[in-house]
């Protein structure tokens, strides 16, 4: 790992995600490409991508999407992305494999005025890795969401992870993005964040339900005691 280069990309800033400086790039999350994913269950991948879209909306983070030849076998973008991030901007490409090679895509990123990129893409070794490495070269801080990408083998995932880290990209998982962007539970929309987490951790929904039931029981007991 080329640690000095990784640190240099942050220019002395804390190596964490600042939601006020972040842009989320969701690249090539297409129904056809999802069928090639073998390093994780497709349902988990889809849930993680959906969670990122929800979190971007909650945190008011700009979202830019794009697709690789969506009229061909790669298929259309999964609908959850624009459903849960209705503010997302879609940028059409003209066949470029690396989204960063498309001038309109790069212009859309620059237009946000933000310098921290949260990137996820299918396939990991191509659609996520190529633009992530390119963006680091252009001076952006890049966080790659590995479990919201997906590729055709565990080996491909591990090789790609080693490559992007050497290039200065910071790997992270979906839950890490959620927590780092959320910052605190002491906020009015805390329940909405908890609901977003439940897609990544289905058991967390059970935790929420059990807590809500316990609170309901406690309130009922207090009401009965005060009535006596």
The C-alpha atoms of residue 202 and residue 180 are separated, in whole angstroms, by 20
| Residues 49 and 138 both lie in one domain | yes
| Residues 178 and 194 both lie in one domain | no
The C-alpha atoms of residue 102 and residue 78 are separated, in whole angstroms, by 21
| Residues 110 and 155 both lie in one domain | yes
| Residues 155 and 195 both lie in one domain | no
- Tell me what pLDDT residue 141 has: 96
DSSP string, 103-171: HHHHHHHHHTT--EEEEEESSIIIIIHHHHHHHHHTT-EEEEEGGGT--S-HHHHHHHHHHHHHHTPEE
What's 78's DSSP letter? Answer: P
| Residues 59 and 154 both lie in one domain | yes
| Residues 13 and 104 both lie in one domain | yes
- The pLDDT profile of the chain, 228 residues, written as one tens digit per residue, is 344 455 446 666 678 899 999 999 999 999 999 999 999 999 999 999 999 999 999 999 999 999 999 999 999 999 999 999 999 999 999 999 999 999 999 999 999 999 999 999 999 999 999 999 999 999 999 999 999 999 999 999 999 999 999 999 999 999 999 999 999 989 999 888 988 887 777 667 777 777 777 777 777 766 666 666
> 1, 96 in Cβ contact below 8 A?
no
Among 24, 127, 169, 177, the one annotated catalytic: 127
- Tell me what pLDDT residue 227 has: 61
| Residues 201 and 128 both lie in one domain | no
| Residues 176 and 194 both lie in one domain | no
The C-alpha atoms of residue 205 and residue 198 are separated, in whole angstroms, by 5
Domain tally, the chain: 2
| Residues 200 and 128 both lie in one domain | no
SS3 30: strand
Q: Which residue has the tokens 């002491």?
A: 186
- Tell me what pLDDT residue 134 has: 98
- Tell me what pLDDT residue 154 has: 94
Nearest by Cα to 135 from 174, 160, 167, 173 = 167
- Tell me what pLDDT residue 223 has: 66
Please provide the distance, in angstroms rounded to a whole number, between the alpha carbons at the two ends of the chain: 68
Burial class (CB in 10 A: 0-12, 13-18, 19+), 202: exposed
- With vertex at residue 166, the alpha carbon angle to CA 165 and CA 168, rounded to the nearest 5 degrees, is 65
The C-alpha atoms of residue 148 and residue 85 are separated, in whole angstroms, by 15
Dihedral Cα 185, 189, 195, 196, nearest 10 deg: -90
What's 76's DSSP letter? Answer: P
- For residue 106, the domain's CATH number is 3.40.50.850
| Residues 89 and 202 both lie in one domain | no
Supply 29's token pair.
């999350």
**Full domain range(s) for residue 203:** 190-227
- Tell me what pLDDT residue 110 has: 98
| Residues 167 and 134 both lie in one domain | yes
| Residues 44 and 146 both lie in one domain | yes
Q: Catalytic annotation on 127?
A: yes
- Tell me what pLDDT residue 58 has: 96
| Alpha-carbon dihedral sign for residues 114, 116, 122, 127 | positive
- Tell me what pLDDT residue 191 has: 84
- Burial code of 47-61, b = ≥16 C-beta within 10 A, e = fewer? bbbbbbbbbbbbbeb
- Tell me what pLDDT residue 15 has: 81
- Tell me what pLDDT residue 183 has: 93
């Amino acid at each position: 790992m080329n640690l000095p280069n990784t640190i240099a990309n942050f220019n002395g800033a804390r190596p964490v995600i600042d939601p006020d400086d972040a842009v989320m790039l969701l690249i090539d999350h297409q129904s056809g490409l999802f069928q090639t994913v073998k390093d994780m269950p497709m349902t988990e991948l889809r849930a993680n991508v959906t969670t990122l879209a929800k979190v971007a909306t909650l945190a008011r983070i700009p979202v830019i999407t794009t697709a690789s030849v969506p009229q061909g076998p790669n298929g259309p973008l999964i609908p959850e992305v624009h459903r849960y991030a209705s503010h997302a901007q879609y940028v059409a490409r003209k066949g470029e494999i690396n989204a960063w090679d498309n001038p309109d895509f790069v212009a859309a990123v620059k237009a946000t005025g933000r310098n921290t990129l949260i990137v996820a893409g299918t396939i990991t070794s191509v659609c996520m890795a190529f633009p992530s490495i390119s963006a680091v070269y252009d001076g952006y801080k890049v966080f790659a969401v590995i479990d919201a990408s997906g590729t055709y083998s565990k080996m491909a995932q591990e090789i790609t992870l080693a490559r992007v880290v050497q290039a200065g990209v910071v790997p992270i998982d979906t839950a890490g993005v959620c927590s780092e962007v959320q910052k605190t539970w002491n906020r009015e929309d805390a329940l909405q964040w908890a609901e977003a987490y439940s897609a990544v951790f289905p058991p967390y929904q059970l935790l929420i339900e059990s807590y809500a039931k316990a609170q309901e029981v406690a309130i009922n007991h207090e009401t009965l005691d005060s009535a006596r």
